[in-house]
Structure formats: C-alpha cells, structure tokens
Chain A
Amino acid sequence: MKKLLYYVKDYFLFIFLLLVSLFLISNDSTKEAFHSKRIFFGIFAYANSLFDGIFVKPLQPKTCEEAEKRAAELHLQNELLRLYGLENSELKQLLDYKKNSQFNLLTAEVISKNILPVKKEFTINRGSVDSVKLGMSVVTNKGFVGLITMVARDYSIVRTFEDPRIKITAEVERNGINGLVTWDGKNLVMKNIPTNYDVKNGDRIITSPLSYRYAHRIPLGIVKDKINSVSGLFSDLIIQPFNDLRTIRYCFVILNSDDKILQKVSQSKNEK
C-alpha cells in the first residue's frame, strides 16, 4: 500500500498542480484569458453533457410531452397575466380621470375598430339602454376621441377625430385663438390661422367653448408644426393628438351635455 502510494504520489501532485494552474488561468481577468475561458467552458459543457446521460435519468418521451404542454399553458397564462396587468394600469388611470372629472362619464369598452382611411370609427359596448345619445362626445383620460354618430340598444358607433368627415371647433388654450380642426388624411390640422397670430409649437389645443356640438375644453393635442400658405397670410397648424387611436381599449361617453341644439338633433334623428 505504501509502495503504491509512493508510486502514485507524483501523479497526484502532477494532477493537483495542473488543476491549480487551470484554476489560476480561469480566474485571470486579463483580456487574453478570454480565449482560455472559452476553452474551459467548452470542455466543461462537453464533460457535463457526458455525465448528464450517466447520472441524470433522461426524461421519458411522455413526460417530455407533458412538460411541453405544461410549459405552453404556463406561457399562455403568463401572457394573460401580463395583459391583465397592463389593462389594470390603464383602468386605474381611467378611474382617476372619472373621479376628478366635471362631466358625468359613462365608461365604455371599444369592441370593434374600423380603420378604413375614409371611415375611422369605433364601436363601443354602450347603447341607448345606457342613456347614450347621438352627438355625445367620447373622451379618454388623455383627451378627445370622437362623437357618437349612431346609437343602437346595446352599442354605439363613435366617429373618431381621424375620420375626414369630422370637424372640430377648437382653440389654442394659451390665447383662445379659434379654428376648425379636421383630419386631412395624414395629420390633424387647424386650418387658416392668420400668420400674425401668436401660436407656437407645443401650444395645447382644446375643444372650443364656442362649440355647440362638442363638450367644452377637452384636450385635443399640441401644435407640432406651423405651415404657412403660399400667400403668406394664413398658416395651418399641424396638431399632434394626445390620443393614439390604435391603442385605445376603453373610453368615456360624456352624458351631461347641456347643449340644446345637440338635444334637438338627437330628437329629430330618433324621430326619423
């Protein structure tokens, strides 16, 4: 035994010294050591794969299938929870807005979107049973969305500000300069503002208190650009809307509009 130990002692020492060297190499932080580390990692991964087959019982095909199915289920659940999380934060913001708003708001969910360039409309899940009437304004916590143009029993159609048929009487919040805002197919534009009027990029645009059709002082967007006409007398204001219509899932219908004209329009339409 002693003889054997004496015989293998050198081998043990040799292996020990090699391992110490390898340990030193793997702990080296110089740039040149990157290649060595890569080699060690490769050797380790290869050795690990060899021992894995010996010591770790490989998964049976049926277990693999079940595991994959479970993983897919968990993945879907995870996605759903993530969606709920996002929805939750959006709803919280809407609730805050509803609580602090001066209007009587009815919460609605967007159940369909028509994205044709000439007809950008939403369908919401509120109708005449929820006291929704023609001509009511639809908003979110960020600002103006559109106008109710059709009311059924359980749902309504909202014509959004990106529909070219809609015209919004609006004003520059800072100085009350009025104008008509329309969608030109690309941008929301406030047209024919005299060039000498004081309007700057970044000015907020809101629905005008002069309007009989829309709820008053609802934020619409900010001035992004000012384009002068050829004559140089008038300019068009390009407005960056606060709401991104592609991302809206919930909105509010403003119920307490005291506009008499609107009520008349609503009545005549209902009679028809």
Chain B
Amino acid sequence: MKNKLIEILLLFIILAALQLTLINFITIENIGPQLLVIFVLYYSLKLKNSHSLLFGFFTGLLFDLITGGITGVNAFAFTFVSFIANKSKHKFEGNIFPTNYFVWLVFVSSSVASFFINFFYGNSNNLLEAVLLYGIISGIYTTLFALPLILFLKGRNPNG
C-alpha cells in the first residue's frame, strides 16, 4: 500500500514536471496534451468509486497549487475525469483490457478536462470554439500521447 502511494506520488511529480516544462514546447495556442488527465483516468479506474473522486480532486488541487494558476480549476476538471472513469468501470471488469474503449475514454476525459480548464481561464469567449478547439482537438492531442500506455496495456488483464 505504502509502495503504491509512493509510486503514485512519484509518477505525479514526474508528469507534473513534464507538463510544466516539455509539454509547453509542443503546446500551440493553449492546445496541448494533458498528461495528468491520463494519469488521473488510469488510477481512477483502479480505485474505489469515492476514493477515485477524492483522488481526482486532490491531484487537481495539488497541480493548481504547484502551477500557481487559478486554484480549483484543475481540481474541478480532474474530479470530472474521475467521475467519467467511475461510470466506465464496469467495462474494465473483464479479463482483457478494452483498448478501444480506453482510447475513447481518454479522448472524452481529456476533451472535457481541457474544455473546462480553458473555459475557466477565459481562453475563449465562444462556447462552440471552446468545445471544438480546446475540447476536441486537445482531446485528440492527449489521446495521441496516451498511445504508448494504451499499447502497453493492450491484451493485459485490467485487474492485474
């Protein structure tokens, strides 16, 4: 349990560092991959329902405090991601990892998270633009970055 916690914490630090440094170089007009969304989604699928919601919220809050942006924006977005993961858990109860569904889940989750983050930061005053540009395109971008993880998990037992 303790090792698991350290693993999660270390992974969070690495991904947060990457998000704040390297990812900035490939972010165009505030559209970039959301590494922490993949992280939150993956662990939310593994945790219990209420735990996963708290996990999403506190991960977001911690990231907000680290970045020094608007406190609560990432907490809000990641709580949503955890909630989506909760509602999709039944698909991961089989013996084979549902790769296609996971791709779809990453896309939806990152789109929603990206939409909320950009919406709260006021990057777009147009709702349609916020959904299409910051939501869907950013979702596709994040899904591309999740491909190594998806390939790694392909064919594995999701409960393993």
Contacts and interface: CB of A to CB of B under 8 A. Distances in A.
Interface of A: 9-10, 13-14, 17-18, 20-25, 27-28, 30, 32-36, 38-39
B98 interface: no
A122 B18 CA distance: 84
B70 A17 contact: no
Interface in B65-86: 68-73, 75-76, 79-80, 83, 86
Contacts of A23: 72
A134 B127 CA distance: 81
Given A32-B121, A33-B70, A36-B70, A24 B53 contact: no
A62 B76 CA distance: 48
B57 A21 contact: yes
B50 A24 contact: no
Interface residues of B, number: 25
A30 to B, nearest CB: 6
Nearest to A25: B72
B13 to A, nearest CB: 22
A25 B116 CA distance: 12
B19 interface: no
Given A21-B79, A25-B73, A28-B71, 19 more contacts: A9-B49, A10-B49, A10-B53, A17-B79, A20-B57, A20-B75, A21-B61, A21-B75, A23-B72, A24-B72, A25-B71, A30-B68, A32-B69, A32-B121, A32-B122, A35-B120, A36-B73, A36-B120, A39-B120
A10 B76 contact: no
Classify the secondary structure of A's interface with B: helix
Given A18-B79, A32-B69, A25 B53 contact: no
Contacts, number: 71
Interface centre among B54, B57, B68, B69 (most CB of A within 10 A): B57
Nearest to B80: A18
For the complex of A and B, list the 5 residue pairs with the smallest distance between their C-beta atoms, beginning with the closest: A35-B122, A24-B72, A21-B76, A25-B72, A21-B72
A10 B86 CA distance: 9
Contacts of B56: 17
A36 to B, nearest CB: 5
B69 A30 contact: yes
B71 A35 contact: no
Nearest to A23: B72
A25 to B, nearest CB: 4
Contacts of B49: 9-10
Contacts of B120: 25, 35-36, 39
Interface string B43-59: 00000011001101100
Contacts of B119: 39
Interface in B81-131: 83, 86, 119-122
Nearest to A38: B122
Nearest to B69: A32
Given A25-B120, A28-B70, A32-B122, A14 B79 contact: yes
Contacts of B80: 18
Given A21-B79, A22-B76, A24-B75, A32 B70 contact: yes
A79 to B, nearest CB: 42
B73 A17 contact: no
A28 B121 CA distance: 12
Interface centre among B57, B68, B72, B76 (most CB of A within 10 A): B72
B29 to A, nearest CB: 17
A51 B102 CA distance: 41
A33 B70 CA distance: 6
Contacts of A24: 61, 64, 71-72, 75
A31 to B, nearest CB: 10
Contacts of B50: 9-10, 13
Nearest to B121: A32
Contacts of A34: 122
A22 B122 contact: no
A14 B53 contact: yes
Contacts of B57: 17, 20-21
